[in-house]
Each structure stands twice: as structure tokens, then as C-alpha cells.
Amino acid sequence: METRDAISVAVVGGTGYVAGEVLRLLAGHPVFRLNAVVSHAHEGEPVVRAFPHLAGVLPDGLVFRALPEWTERDWRAGAARGVFLALPHGETSKVVAGLLDGRGPPDAHLVDLSADFRYPDAADFERIYGVEHAAKGHLADFTCLVPEQHDGGPVRHAVQPGCFATAVTLAAWPFARLGLTEGPVFASAVTGSSGSGRTPRETTHHPARRSDLVAYLPLAHRHEPEMCRLIAYPLGEGWEVEFVAHSGPFVRGIHATVRMTLREPVAAERLVERVNEWYGPRGPFVRASAGMPHLTGVVGTNRCDLGVATRGRTLVVTSALDNLVKGAAGGAVQWMNRAFGLPDDQGLRLGGPGWF
């Protein structure tokens, strides 16, 4: 079996749920080696204080480092060749502007987990997120797709789409790409409380939602424009998507129901075959069946399970994935694997907990 030299990577913005999942995945990765975890607000604190479940897994004595110190001592010296950016929206572009100023390693790769580089036009980002983009000149350097959508080889820098966008895109895209459906796409998705981040807010804090189910931002969610662009890839013509998000009474996972109109009736079993034929060469993580997927089957893994049902020209696809893994950290590691020419599933063949 071919062996690979270790590749040093860093996590910038290292205290949120997604950053914690990136660290968990890196701890078991056979090639990537953790160079640093950067968080200016927690400089000098042990990383396991933020993530006690990773004690004994992360390197002993690992502490958070400040961005300026890490940039000067490690990044400029080429001590990290890959960087996972797990910063808040609007902050990432400021950091990228500093990292890609010509003084970093020429063969480095960045993977962004925020929204800053999800749109090729900065005006779209600024309109949707309400903050100025600080690295407009680097937008063209980033590829923003779900990894399974990218047919090419290694990329320079990549962006993992939003978790809702990932769940809906993986359900709808193959049917649109194969010319089997016509618009619009109707999507409804329920997400766990971890999707709202680590800082509790009145409407998203888990105790407020643990026994409740509520729709929010119907037809106005900021992931909807992402879905329109991604489902249309690579044709460049935006598909109309009508999306309703729900806050669910669980912590991890997204369950999406996507309804489309077939151009002509096709049996569900045949569509399952077409989807699996489509995703088969694109890696091991997306599979369809005529049965409906369960969140318990995918939480903790980098998989997205699809269920297909039809009646006449009506097509319904249900999609289940872990919002923190396939919808974020796992997708980011998948992109970093791609960037360095590694197999998509390197370090990502994960079994789920089953009961939690």
C-alpha cells in the first residue's frame, strides 16, 4: 500500500462546534497532521478545555494560538500547508486577505466553512449577509460546490456550502443534471440545534426547542440562493427553489424533503438506479434507495442517505445527513483531501454511534 508523507494543517477559528468536528476528524486522519488551532480570544488556553471530549485524542499540551503569532511564525515559514477556516461570516475574508498576500506557502490550500466565498460575486454575499467582503480579489480562487459536484482534479482553495444547501442539493442536483425534472424545487428541512452554533440565543438554544418544532424564515432563508446556484451547476442558469427551514428537537442532523416534477413518469426503482449510477464515480458518501433514510443512520458519519418516491410525475426525495459532518466539517476534510490529491474518503470512513 502506498504511504504518504504527513501534511501539516491548521484550524483557524477553533472554538465552535464545526471546528471541534474538524479537530475530531483530523485526529484520526492518516495523512493530515495538526499544526495549530488558532483563536485569538482564547490564546494560551488548552484546546481540550473547549472540547473535553477530545482529551487524549488531541496532542498533549495543545493550546490555542493567536492569529498574528501563528501567521508570522508558522504560516510564513510554510509550517502549515492546509488551513481550515471556521470563522464567523464576514471574518473569514479579512483573514484570507492576510494569508493570501503572497508571503505564505505557494502550494498551500484553504478550505472555508463560512459563507464568505460561496458566491462568485461579492455583491451577492454582501446583500445576503449584510457585511462587506474584505477579499474580493480572491473570490475566483475558491471553488464552491458540494464535493460530489466537482468532476475535476485537485482545486486550489475550496468552500463547503451551507448544511441546508448540501442536504437539498445532493437530493435535487442529479435529477436536474440528468434532465429528468423541471422547476421549481420545493424543499422543507428540519435541522438540529447544533446548526445554530455554540452561542445560545433565545430562539435557538436547545432547551427552548427540545420539545418543539417550528418553521423559520420561510421562503427567505439565506441558504436558498445557494441552493438555486448549486442545483443549476454547471449550466449557470439558476433553478427556482422554494425553501422552508425548521428547528427540530434534536441536536445533530438534517432531514430534508425535496419535491420536484418529473418531465415524464419514471418508476422510483429506476430513479434509484440512475442516482446511484450518477454518484457512484463521485465517491462513497451519497447513496439512494426506495426506503426512507433515518438520521440515526447518518449522524456522526460523512454520508448522505437519499430516499426516492414517485407518483405519476411527482418526485419526492428525502435527504438525511449530519449537519456538522457531511454538512460542514466532513465536507471540508473531503475538499482538503481533494486539494492534496488524496482519495475523497481518506480519514472519512466513519461509522455512526447508532444510539445517542
Sheet holding 142-144, edge to edge: 64-65, 32-38, 7-12, 82-85, 109-112, 157-159, 142-144
Q: Where are the alpha helices (DSSP H) in the chain?
A: 17-27, 47-50, 67-70, 92-99, 122-129, 163-177, 206-209, 224-232, 268-279, 330-339
Q: Does 336 reside within a domain?
A: no
- Say yes or no: 203 and 263 in one domain: yes
Cis preceding-peptide flag for 184 (omega within 30 of 0): yes
The pLDDT of residue 153 is: 75
178 and 270, same domain (yes or no): yes
Which residue is listed with cell 441546508?
Answer: 164
Q: Tell me what pLDDT residue 204 has.
A: 65
In a domain, 75, yes or no: yes
Instruction: Determine if the pTM surpasses 0.85.
Output: yes
Nine-digit cell string for 160: 463547503
Structural domain including 190 reads 163-322
Catalytic residue annotation: 163
| Same domain? 113 vs 180 | no
Domain membership of residue 348 (yes or no) is no
Query: All 3 cell numbers of residue 322?
Result: 449530519
Domain co-membership, 51 together with 176? no
Residues of the chain with pLDDT under 70: 1-3, 196-205
The pLDDT of residue 318 is 98
Q: How many domains does the chain have?
A: 2
C-beta neighbour count of 46 within 10 angstroms? 16
Q: What is the model's pLDDT at position 252?
A: 94
Same domain, 318 and 287: yes
Query: For position 203, what pLDDT does the model report?
Result: 66
- The pLDDT of residue 196 is 66
Check residue 347 and give its pLDDT.
97
* The CA-based dihedral angle spanning residues 241, 242, 248, 252, taken in that order and rounded to the nearest 10 degrees: 0
Q: Are residues 175 and 316 in the same domain?
A: yes
